[in-house]
Amino acid sequence: MNNVQVVNIPGAGGNIALGQLTTLEDANNLMVGGTGQIAAHAARGTGPELSQVTAVSRVVEEYSLVVVPADSPYQSMDDLVSAWRADPAHVAWTGGGSFDQLVMADIARTADVPVADTTYIPSDGGGEAIQALLNGTAQASAGGFADIYPQVQAGRLRALGVVAAEPLAGVEEIPTLRSQGYDVTLTNWRALFVPPGVSAEERTELETLIAEAVDTPEWKEAVQRNYWNPVPLSGTELEEFIAAEKERIGTLTEEIK
């Protein structure tokens, strides 16, 4: 593959791009999608769904990092949760998208904080969420690790925990939420999708092409740089995984509503 054109189609949590993919036919039209689109559809209750296109391969998952301002009184997840339980509405969270709010809701549910009583201030991307923390609009946030961790390194934010099953390589000093007693492991996974109606042979060829791409040094360096985790999955197992994620995210979304 020598000629690749990348087109960014913003809007509706990725569901505008998904809608366009449902109208195409050629197998050479690939879309990167995943958790965010399921979350956006669950929140809106309308629009296209991932089940309307062809899932080819899941490639990576991204982890959320729970942070507070560097001068926050909360030194640990227990400190934050204790204050949150005492006054759910006045410990405001922020994040850069629908998925970040789902992580907050999952943490609340695990920590016995009534999700319906929580305050979530949506931000237009990770940069705005960080500003909401720094100017005192919000007291905590859960966002993509690669987006937020530089602010921790710069001393502006304090990391309380990473939403992952195991500590991340290279930043093992940041504990997982699970190790602190909060069994939350919701991840922002990414997969590649093609239009509906793509043949089984074309799908198999794409699976092979993607497997070769993720085995290159360039891709492996990107995975390490962004603190992603490779989670290859395809075929029927991928379809079943997406169906389970839809149910899981739908349940969390109902609690938010």
Closest CA to 213 of 71, 1, 19: 1
Q: Dump pLDDT digits (tens) for 25-76.
A: 899 999 999 998 998 888 888 889 999 999 999 999 999 999 999 999 999 9
Q: Dump pLDDT digits (tens) for 109-134.
A: 999 999 999 999 988 877 889 999 99
Q: Which residues contact 186 (CB under 8 A, 6 or more apart)?
A: 35, 64, 102, 103, 106, 163, 248
Q: Dump pLDDT digits (tens) for 131-181.
A: 999 999 999 999 999 999 999 999 999 999 999 999 998 999 999 999 999
Produce one character per residue of 50-87: b if its CB has 16 or more CB atoms within 10 Å, e if not. Answer: beebbbbbbbbbbbbbbbbbeebebeebeebbebbeee
Q: Where are the domains of the chain?
A: 10-22+31-52, 64-180
Q: Is residue 233 a contact partner of residue 242, using CB atoms and an 8 Å limit?
A: no
What are the beta bridge partners of residue 94?
121, 141
SS3 content of the chain, % helix, strand, coil (to 5): 45, 20, 35
What's 64-180's CATH class?
alpha beta
Residue 13: pLDDT band with limits 50, 70, 90: confident
User: Once rounded to an integer, what is the mean pLDDT over residues 211-222?
Assistant: 96
